[in-house]
């Protein structure tokens, strides 16, 4: 990597405030919550960087969710996310204000934007972090993420370059409380976009027609693993989910078996979830899966192997055959609901 940065010239924590269609993305709020925590530890301001067309009204919400300052960059050409333009504006602002930390949600937009921004700013980036903290002695962002196929958790620092950048996957951090009375400084910056800056034109964008709750927002999840992937057990899992108002999720091998969609795969290469109730049915508890459920409040695990790793994560463990246990649970719920 090229020349080291003068780290003393950089101050403040920045969050990229992703929005689409004039609506703040949930991941932007999750980043604000963590950003607030980091800024408080460092004793600096938290700044949200908001790009789009006519998005200024969202700045008040960003303040209410924890930002001290909001940088608003508005231009009709920023209405839809475009890699080159968003990279240019974020880098211009960061070059000017010199934040010491910049965190971005690892959404499809964040994953596209972040490497380009970090390259242009001549700094490093730790992707897909599961925890962020501050080493106050050195004023370093301490980023933790799974490495080597999830077999170790790596702690990564960026001592010589600024800003220290990390991305965090959706669902890892909670959305902070919205405080209506909070006040902050909102700055609308000048945006200059030359015709030569525009090399890509968006002809059309369309939304996926998927229905139902995103598994990341689910309050209850009944999850299928290979040990409960037979027809009887899976039907019982679907029935339990429908009876208790839960979503069905599962492990990667169940996605590979085409039993469930990749959109509901939970874990390192799937989604991170934070439900109130997580029922793990026939799931071994491999680290690549459990990394996605570390924020689940109450875990019920069913596995025929009493020594299965998943029981270490469970509030309640049931050792036995999934088929028998799941069909008994269906009967029991129906009996209770009919009373
Ligand atoms: P298994 O490991 O085969 O476990 C099945 C379990 O069911 C066993 O514990 C067994 O005792 C139990 N069982 C069997 N029969 C019964 C029965 N009749 N009744 C009750 N219990 C029974 N996995 C993910 O889930 N999500 C990811 O995002 C993910 N990402 C990965 C990324 C990488 C880079 C790699 C290398 C792997 C990844 N994996 C991921 C795969 C992961 O390592 C495990 O292989 C996977 O989670 C195991 O899925 P499983 O628990 O369904 O199956």
Q: pLDDT, tens digit, for every residue of 56-92? A: 999 999 999 999 999 999 999 999 999 999 999 999 9
Q: What is the pTM for the complete model shown?
A: 0.81
User: What is the tens place of the pLDDT at every residue in 283-329?
Assistant: 999 999 999 999 999 999 999 999 999 999 999 999 999 999 999 99
Q: What is the pLDDT of residue 210?
A: 61
Q: What is the pLDDT of residue 211?
A: 56
Ligand 1: residues with CB < 6 A are 149-150, 225-227, 251-254, 265-270, 282-284, 286, 288-289, 302-305, 308, 321-322
**2 pLDDT above the threshold of 70:** no
| pLDDT (mean) for 145-171 | 91
The C-alpha atoms of residue 105 and residue 111 are separated, in whole angstroms, by 8
- For residue 167, the CA-to-ligand 1 centroid distance in Å is 26
Q: In 3D, which of 167, 155, 181 has the Cα closest to residue 129?
A: 167
Count of positions (residues) in the chain: 339
Q: Considering the chain, what percentage of its residues have pLDDT values greater than 70?
A: 98
Helix axes 108-120 and 83-97, enclosed angle (nearest 10): 50
The C-alpha atoms of residue 296 and residue 305 are separated, in whole angstroms, by 22
- For residue 337, the CA-to-ligand 1 centroid distance in Å is 32
Q: Which of ligand 1's atoms lies nearest the C-alpha of 226?
A: 52
- For residue 326, the CA-to-ligand 1 centroid distance in Å is 18
Pocket test for ligand 1, best of 232, 250, 252 (most atoms within 8 A of CB): 252
Q: Which residue's alpha carbon is nearest to atom 44 within ligand 1? A: 286
Q: What is the pLDDT of residue 21?
A: 92
Q: Which of ligand 1's atoms lies nearest the C-alpha of 284?
A: 9
Q: Which residue's alpha carbon is nearest to atom 3 within ligand 1? A: 226
Q: What is the pLDDT of residue 338?
A: 87
- For residue 282, the CA-to-ligand 1 centroid distance in Å is 8
| pLDDT (mean) for 233-247 | 97
The C-alpha atoms of residue 206 and residue 2 are separated, in whole angstroms, by 40
Q: What is the pLDDT of residue 257?
A: 96
The C-alpha atoms of residue 246 and residue 293 are separated, in whole angstroms, by 15
- For residue 208, the CA-to-ligand 1 centroid distance in Å is 29
What 3-state DSSP class applies to 331?
helix
Q: Which residue's alpha carbon is nearest to atom 39 within ligand 1? A: 288
Pocket test for ligand 1, best of 272, 288, 291 (most atoms within 8 A of CB): 288
- For residue 252, the CA-to-ligand 1 centroid distance in Å is 7
Element (H, E) at 239: helix 231-244
The C-alpha atoms of residue 164 and residue 13 are separated, in whole angstroms, by 9
């Amino acid at each position: 990597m090229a020349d080291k940065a003068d780290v003393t010239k950089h101050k403040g924590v920045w969050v990229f405030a992703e929005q689409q269609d004039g609506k703040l993305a949930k991941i932007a709020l999750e980043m604000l919550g963590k950003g607030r925590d980091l800024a408080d530890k460092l004793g600096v301001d938290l700044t949200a960087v908001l790009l789009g067309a006519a998005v200024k009204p969202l700045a008040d919400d960003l303040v209410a969710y924890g930002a001290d300052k909001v940088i608003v960059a508005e231009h009709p050409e920023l209405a839809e996310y475009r890699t080159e333009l968003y990279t240019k504006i974020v880098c211009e602002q960061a070059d000017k204000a010199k934040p010491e930390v910049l965190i971005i949600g690892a959404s499809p937009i964040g994953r596209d934007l972040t490497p380009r921004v970090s390259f242009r700013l001549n700094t490093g980036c730790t992707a897909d972090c599961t925890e962020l903290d501050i080493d106050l002695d050195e004023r370093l962002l301490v980023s933790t993420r799974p490495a080597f196929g999830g077999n170790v958790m790596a702690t990564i620092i960026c001592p010589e370059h600024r800003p220290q950048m990390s991305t965090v996957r959706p669902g890892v951090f909670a959305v902070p409380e919205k405080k209506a009375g909070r006040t902050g400084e909102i700055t609308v910056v000048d945006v200059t976009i030359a015709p030569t800056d525009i090399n890509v034109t968006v002809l059309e964008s369309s939304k996926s027609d998927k229905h139902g709750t995103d598994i990341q927002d689910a309050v209850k999840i009944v999850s299928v693993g290979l040990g409960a992937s037979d027809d009887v057990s899976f039907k019982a899992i679907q029935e339990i989910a429908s009876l208790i108002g839960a979503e069905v999720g599962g492990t990667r091998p169940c996605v590979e078996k085409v039993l469930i969609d990749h959109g509901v795969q939970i874990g390192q290469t799937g989604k991170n979830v934070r439900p109130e109730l997580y029922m793990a049915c026939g799931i071994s508890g491999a680290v690549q899966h459990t990394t996605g459920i570390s924020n689940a409040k109450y875990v019920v695990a069913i596995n025929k192997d009493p020594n299965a790793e998943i029981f270490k994560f469970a509030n309640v463990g049931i050792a036995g055959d999934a088929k028998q246990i799941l069909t008994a649970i269906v009967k029991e719920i129906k009996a209770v609901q009919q009373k």
